[in-house]
């Protein structure tokens, strides 16, 4: 970001007028290149064959192809991304929410360019530059808002699964090696051997030697708020009675991501948290997917709840485990070579600053307004083609709007075809051809999942994407 003529963040010895002019010249060159991106565009026949060859070779190198046969070319603008085959598409999944400021945001690129003038690419736990301290400070300040720092500590790492591993280790040490984990149906926690056991997906632990005792409580059901809360509390009580002193934590996603963008209110979590606390069980909020993108920076703030441990990732660029002084583990429990790259530390911090400065949060903040716009366009779409939106409970009746439109803030979901997984998978491929990259979530019913670039998203982008969805739904009927 420029202030007057000087670019912030450069080492004083490097911040010569020549270096700064060179950085601005790179930015101007990128801006010029972006001016060719106006909207969805089909592939360029001259680039298609070589693009396919690389995608195929990479699939062979990985031992299995990519979910979507596509790769970014390195050029993009906002919600639009150019692919290596020359096509331009709306990116409404952004690497599962990582590119929160979309493609080619010039302020973000400038931040990364400045980071690249530093002396190291990767930073770690043994040696780091001030970037790690600045990023941690930004997260902790955001976690406290203007109040006291209850989550006073944060340990940085480079994946959501590792942030979760650290959270579980902290909880286990606090409970003297308690071997059990309480969590929820449909949760996802990452793909380490341990997190694959916490997550509620059978496929993710196929062939693994299971060594963790995990109990999956029912999650909140908006169609039966009181009943689902009662059932979860009852099962929690049972588990605590059955295994007193054996639970390391109550691990919960305050808004489930992979499980289907399932939103739950404060009144669901509060009694569960109270019971866990009474039994001496620490409460860990996994906000890896929901962090930053709903109506508050942290979901626990929006719900006005106080977890002992919180994990964040994806749009933060660098992942982290935050915890209270009471949970601070003994030396030796947490470390690793890498924290992240200089660019990811700088860009992560810049994104968090911008989200706050640009009014992302609050009841009438940008994220809440974008979600309302999504609902408005989605309602129009559902009402104009009710046959594509049958109820998930009775495929012969049209669905209620709240059944097929969901999420919060920049987590947006739509459920056509009664949540039929095979039809939604085919729809995603047709959408890709028509110029929209999206994904699914849920374990049945399945949903269309959008994690658009909230930091730069315009209502017009949502309108264009839902209009493409509408055309593609009609084509596949
Ligand atoms: C809630 C949640 N926790 C943890 C993870 C794992 O994060 P990562 O893929 O960065 O390891 C994810 C990823 O989707 C997630 O959604």
The per-residue pLDDT for range 275-285, each reduced to its tens digit, is 999 999 999 99
**What is d(CA 405, CA 399) in angstroms, rounded to the nearest whole number?**
10
Query: Residue 175: CB within 6 Å of ligand 1?
Result: no
For 66-73, which contacts have Cβ atoms below 8 Å and span 24 or more sequence positions?
68/428, 68/432, 68/437, 70/432, 70/437, 72/103
- Predicted confidence at residue 474, as pLDDT, reads 85
- 420 DSSP 8-state letter: -
Structure tokens at 381: 């779409």
Tell me if 280 sits within 8 A of 182, measured CB to CB.
no
Sorting pLDDT into bands at 50, 70 and 90, what band is 3?
very low
| Number of other CB atoms surrounding residue 263 within 10 Å | 19
Q: From the CA of 290, give the closest atom in ligand 1.
A: 1
Residues 386-425 have pLDDT tens digits of: 999 999 988 899 999 999 999 999 999 999 999 999 999 9
CA–centroid distance, 256 to ligand 1, in Å, is: 11
Residue from 163, 251, 288 whose mutation best tests the ligand 1 pocket (most atoms within 8 A of CB):
288
Question: What is the arithmetic mean of pLDDT over 12-35?
Answer: 98
pLDDT tops 70 at residue 5: no
Burial 172-187 (b: 16+ CB within 10 A, else e): bbbbeebebbbbbebb
User: What's the angle, vertex CA 253, arms to CA 251 and CA 256, rounded to 5?
Assistant: 145
Residues 160-209 have pLDDT tens digits of: 999 999 999 999 999 999 999 999 999 999 999 999 999 999 999 999 99
Sorting pLDDT into bands at 50, 70 and 90, what band is 475?
confident
Sorting pLDDT into bands at 50, 70 and 90, what band is 2?
very low
Residues 277-322 have pLDDT tens digits of: 999 999 999 999 999 999 999 999 999 999 999 999 999 999 999 9
Residue nearest to atom 4 of ligand 1 (CA): 189
**What is d(CA 431, CA 433) in angstroms, rounded to the nearest whole number?**
5
CA–centroid distance, 126 to ligand 1, in Å, is: 25
CA–centroid distance, 452 to ligand 1, in Å, is: 17
pLDDT tops 90 at residue 4: no
Q: Spell out the alpha helix ranges (H) of 117-212.
A: 130-144, 160-174, 193-198
Strands 405-408 and 411-414, by their bridges, are antiparallel
Residues 56-95 have pLDDT tens digits of: 999 999 999 999 999 999 999 999 999 999 999 999 999 9
CA–centroid distance, 205 to ligand 1, in Å, is: 15
Residue 415's nearest CA partner among 364, 458, 450, 366 is: 450
Sorting pLDDT into bands at 50, 70 and 90, what band is 1?
very low
Task: Give Cα 432 to chain centroid, integer Å.
Answer: 21
Beta strand ranges found along 235-288 (DSSP E): 247-252, 255-256, 262-263, 283-286
| Number of other CB atoms surrounding residue 245 within 10 Å | 12
**What is d(CA 349, CA 135) in angstroms, rounded to the nearest whole number?**
5
Residue 314's nearest CA partner among 95, 71, 62 is: 95
> What residues does CATH 3.90.1150.10 cover in the chain?
366-475
CA–centroid distance, 311 to ligand 1, in Å, is: 10
pTM, whole model, 2 decimals? 0.98
Tell me if 236 sits within 8 A of 276, measured CB to CB.
yes
pLDDT tops 70 at residue 14: yes
Question: What is the arithmetic mean of pLDDT over 37-63?
Answer: 98
pLDDT tops 90 at residue 52: yes
CA–centroid distance, 140 to ligand 1, in Å, is: 20
- Predicted confidence at residue 443, as pLDDT, reads 96
Q: Classify 374 in phi/psi space as left (phi over 0), alpha (psi -120 to 50) or beta.
A: alpha
Tell me if 393 sits within 8 A of 419, measured CB to CB.
no
Tell me if 78 sits within 8 A of 461, measured CB to CB.
yes
- Predicted confidence at residue 477, as pLDDT, reads 63
Residue from 201, 257, 336, 344 whose mutation best tests the ligand 1 pocket (most atoms within 8 A of CB):
257
- Predicted confidence at residue 6, as pLDDT, reads 84
R_g over Cα of the chain = 23
Q: Would you call 107 helix, strand, or coil by DSSP?
A: helix
Tell me if 391 sits within 8 A of 412, measured CB to CB.
no
CA–centroid distance, 190 to ligand 1, in Å, is: 5
Place of tokens 């939103």: 263
Burial 197-206 (b: 16+ CB within 10 A, else e): bbbbbeebbe
Does the 122-357 domain belong in CATH 3.40.640.10? yes
Query: Residue 161: CB within 6 Å of ligand 1?
Result: yes
Tell me if 71 sits within 8 A of 84, measured CB to CB.
yes
Q: From the CA of 287, give the closest atom in ligand 1.
A: 1
Between the alpha carbon of residue 254 and those of residues 88, 273, 348, the distances in Å are: 34, 12, 22
Structure tokens at 142: 């955001």
Average per-residue pLDDT for the chain: 97
> What residues does CATH 3.40.640.10 cover in the chain?
122-357
Residues 337-375 have pLDDT tens digits of: 999 999 999 999 999 999 999 999 999 999 999 999 999
Residues 91-144 have pLDDT tens digits of: 999 999 999 999 999 999 999 999 999 999 999 999 999 999 999 999 999 999
* Fold adopted by 366-475: 3.90.1150
- Predicted confidence at residue 146, as pLDDT, reads 83
């Amino acid at each position: 970001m420029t202030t007057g003529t000087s670019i912030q963040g450069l080492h004083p010895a490097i911040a010569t007028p020549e270096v700064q002019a060179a950085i601005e010249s790179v930015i101007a060159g990128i801006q010029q290149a972006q001016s060719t991106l106006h909207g969805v565009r089909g592939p360029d026949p001259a680039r298609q064959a070589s693009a396919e060859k690389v995608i195929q070779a990479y699939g062979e190198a990985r031992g299995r192809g990519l979910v979507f046969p596509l790769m970014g070319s390195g050029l993009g603008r906002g919600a639009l991304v150019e692919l290596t085959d020359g096509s331009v598409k709306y990116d409404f999944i952004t690497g599962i929410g990582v590119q929160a400021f979309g493609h080619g945001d010039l302020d973000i690129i400038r931040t990364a360019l400045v980071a690249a003038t530093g002396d190291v690419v990767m930073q770690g736990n043994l040696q780091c530059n001030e970037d790690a301290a600045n990023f941690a400070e930004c997260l902790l300040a955001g976690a406290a808002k203007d109040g006291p720092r209850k989550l006073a500590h944060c340990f940085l790492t480079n994946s959501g699964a590792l942030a979760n591993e650290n959270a579980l280790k902290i909880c286990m040490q606090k409970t003297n090696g308690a071997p059990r984990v309480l969590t929820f149906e449909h949760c996802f926690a990452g793909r380490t051997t341990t997190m694959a056991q916490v997550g509620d997906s059978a496929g993710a632990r196929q062939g693994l030697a299971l060594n963790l005792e995990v109990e999956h409580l029912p999650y909140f059901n908006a169609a039966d708020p009181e009943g689902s809360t009662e059932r979860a509390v009852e099962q929690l009580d049972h588990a605590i009675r059955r295994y007193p002193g054996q639970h390391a934590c109550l691990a919960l996603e305050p808004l489930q991501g992979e499980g289907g963008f399932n939103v739950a209110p404060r009144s669901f979590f509060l009694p569960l948290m109270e019971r866990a606390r009474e039994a001496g069980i620490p409460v860990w909020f996994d906000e890896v997917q929901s962090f930053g993108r709903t109506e508050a920076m942290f979901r626990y703030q929006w719900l006005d709840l106080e977890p002992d441990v919180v994990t964040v990732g994806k749009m933060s660029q660098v992942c982290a485990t935050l915890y209270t002084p009471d949970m601070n583990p003994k030396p030796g429990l947490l470390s690793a070579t890498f924290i992240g790259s200089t660019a990811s530390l700088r860009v992560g911090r810049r994104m968090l600053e911008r989200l706050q400065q640009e009014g992302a949060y609050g009841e009438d903040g940008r994220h809440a307004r974008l979600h309302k716009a999504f609902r408005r366009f989605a309602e129009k779409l559902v009402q104009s083609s009710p046959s594509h939106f049958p109820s998930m409970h009775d495929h012969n009746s049209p669905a209620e709007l709240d059944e097929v439109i969901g999420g919060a803030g920049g987590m947006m979901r739509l459920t056509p075809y009664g949540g039929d997984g095979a039809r939604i998978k085919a729809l995603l491929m047709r959408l890709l051809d028509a110029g929209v990259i999206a994904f699914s979530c849920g374990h049945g019913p399945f949903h269309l999942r959008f994690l658009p670039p909230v930091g730069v998203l315009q209502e017009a982008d949502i309108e264009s994407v839902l209009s493409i969805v509408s055309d593609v739904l009609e084509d596949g009927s």
